[in-house]
Chains A and B, each alone.
Chain A
Amino acid sequence: MKNHQRRAHLLIWLAMTPALAGLVWLAVLTRPAAAPLAGFVEPR
């Protein structure tokens, strides 16, 4: 692995880790607890 690729990996994960953790956190916070089927397309 070349040095610039190694740096790219580091930057990608430094950026992605908080972004993805934040997304999961937001998604759980906005979960509609009273409507367990929300977000799913019902069978036709």
Chain B
Amino acid sequence: MGHGYQAIKWYPFKRGYDGWIAAFVAVFIAVFLVGLYAFAPPGQFYSPVQALMRATGSCAFACLTIVLCIGPLARLHSVFLPILFNRRHLGVATFLIALTHAGLVLFWYHYGGVVSPALSLLTSNTAYDRLAGFPFETLGALALIWLFVMAATSHDFWNSNLGPGLWKALHMGVYGVYALIIGHVALGALQRETAPAFLAMVLSSLGLVSGLHLLTALVSRRAQQASADEIDWIDAGPALDIPENRARIIQPISGERIAVFRYAGKISAISNVCRHQGGPLGEGRVIDGCVTCPWHGFQYRPEDGQSPPPFTEKVATYRVRLDARRHVLIDPTPLPPGTATAPALIQEIPA
């Protein structure tokens, strides 16, 4: 436990991001409430608490859907990268909205009895052996607990202390949370709400989240096959085709992806995997002479893969050279993290 806590740094982009989240939540809940009362089937009545319960539950579900879509969207196109940055804020907002939903449920259905509200929630229905009337509340409670764990450990302090591997595994639990929520909604709200809008909301969320993840995996596999013609050195294409201060990502047949950067008339290659949370360095830019991760801004010098002092992160580097056509050739064998290797100079025309 050698990592110290650093307070969250607030700056205009982060405030703006949170402002958009708050605005989205407010507009969603307002529109949902109007729609719920305006289009309620005949004979269907919602008290204000019940309506808010529906609104907050649906809003948390929508936020979770967006959280899950941001990752694949950012991998498909860099225009979505800004919303990937600080995605955790949306995750924490999702937890807070879900907590409000749970609080309303406990207050409305389980408060004031002889047993505690939480116990009442978990024990009033134990029909786990059938789908109709399944105690869907338990699924929601489990999802809420895991959302809390992820929200509580979202700060970089926990990423440093738990280590990137454990932290990532912990937060991959968001897929489990999504499955629990789908079960919670399908066996709960969808049992009562017969309006097609509710089913459409669940199916569009599932289609969007699953579709984007599968599409991203497909695109990624195609990119991998396209670069499978390596023999010894990998031809990474013309050096001048790489935009200045940007990278081209190469997938060797075996091993991790390689980010080939062009900057200041030079070409260097480093691992595509950021040491912080595994972010795609090749989708970042060279800022102030350092490769900057698009996810959280961790930086590495392109020549040796080391973070500038006082930071100590290191990524693997790769030997590069240019051939007579000025194509970039990469030795796919990674050098130990932090190993300095000479960049290829674009101005020099090889013999």
Contacts and interface: CB of A to CB of B under 8 A. Distances in A.
Given A24-B186, A40-B188, A44-B112, 15 more contacts: A1-B280, A13-B214, A16-B175, A16-B178, A24-B190, A27-B187, A27-B190, A31-B190, A32-B133, A36-B44, A40-B192, A41-B110, A41-B125, A41-B137, A42-B109
B213 interface: yes
A16 B109 contact: no
A23 to B, nearest CB: 6
B12 interface: no
| Chain A contact surface mostly | helix
B214 A39 contact: no
Contacts, number: 104
A13 to B, nearest CB: 4
Contacts of A6: 217, 220
Contacts of B3: none
A38 B132 contact: yes
A8 B46 CA distance: 43
Contacts of A21: 203, 206
Interface of B: 44, 108-110, 112-113, 120-121, 124-125, 131-134, 136-137, 168, 172, 175, 178-179, 182-183, 186-188, 190-192, 194, 199, 202-203, 206, 210, 213-214, 217, 220, 255-257, 273, 278-280
B278 A5 contact: yes
A23 B203 CA distance: 11
Contacts of A1: 273, 278-280
5 contacts: A5-B278, A10-B217, A13-B217, A27-B187, A27-B190
A27 B256 contact: no
Nearest to B112: A44
A27 B220 contact: no
Interface residues of A, number: 34
Interface in A1-44: 1-3, 5-6, 8-10, 12-14, 16-17, 19-21, 23-24, 26-28, 30-33, 36-44
Given A3-B256, A20-B206, A31-B194, A39 B187 contact: yes
B192 A37 contact: yes
A39 B217 CA distance: 37
Given A1-B278, A21-B206, A44-B112, A16 B179 contact: yes
Contacts of A30: 131-132
A23 B213 CA distance: 19
A10 B212 CA distance: 11
Nearest to B131: A30
B276 to A, nearest CB: 12
The 4 nearest A-B residue pairs measured at CB: A27-B186, A39-B191, A17-B210, A10-B217
A43 B131 contact: no
